Amino acid sequence: MYVIFDMDGVILDSERLYARACDHACQVLDLPVDLMRETMVRCTGVTWDVEEKIVREAFAHIPHFSYEEMLEVVGDYFNDAVEKGQLVLKPGAEELLIWLKDQEIKTGLASSTGMDTIKKELEGLNVLSLFDVIVSGDMVTHSKPDPEIFLMCAEKMGISPEDYADTYVVEDSYNGIRAAYEAGMMPVMVPDRLEPTDEMREKACMILPSLPEFMSYLRVSRGLPYIQ
């Protein structure tokens, strides 16, 4: 058995913080909040390059819109919040990662975020070393829902295609679930800001309310011990 995690919205409680940063940018730059929120839903789980394309297209009709200016305001707000300790782990994340390591179950991280940001944020919360392999958005050519990032992570973890059916992928985004499904792995949706849809219920092997619930499932279904 193997487990691959997404980061934002799964390991880190970052999606809400990023949403607040985008709302703040709307206030500062006089941009429509509803359009921003709708656009950010479409951007969940994609790489920065894809997000930029989506945002530019969505706001192209607004004459005073500047993507660079928006990115600066959002980044300043988000980074200030991180410095103030407002970026935290999702409930049960650290306990689950420690438990998987205790069971000698290989774990990977496959995040659309860039590697520098991944390392900074995970090191700051003391969980970086709990992952055996990390694949970032700047290491792949295609963004989720393309399965490339999960296939690369699996290869680096030493997972053969024959074992994909025994590889759980824990995701919160629609694109992440789609990518894991296309990879032939076992998508597990732990919803964050996006509610499950009929498509997600069809493609996910299970939808669970939290990471502790996922650990309980593994413990019972695999006959594994609880936290040592």
Spatial separation of the C-alpha atoms in residues 50 and 174, rounded to whole Å: 15
Under DSSP, the state recorded for 139 is G
DSSP 8-state symbol, 142: S
Distance, C-alpha 206 to centroid of its chain: 17
Catalytic pick among 6, 132, 146, 172: 6
The reply to whether 8 belongs to the active site is yes
Q: At what angle do helices 33-43 and 48-58 cross, to 10 degrees?
A: 150
- Three-state DSSP at 159 gives coil
Compute the distance between CA of residue 184 and CA of residue 120 in angstroms, rounded to an integer.
31
Residues designated as active site: 6, 8
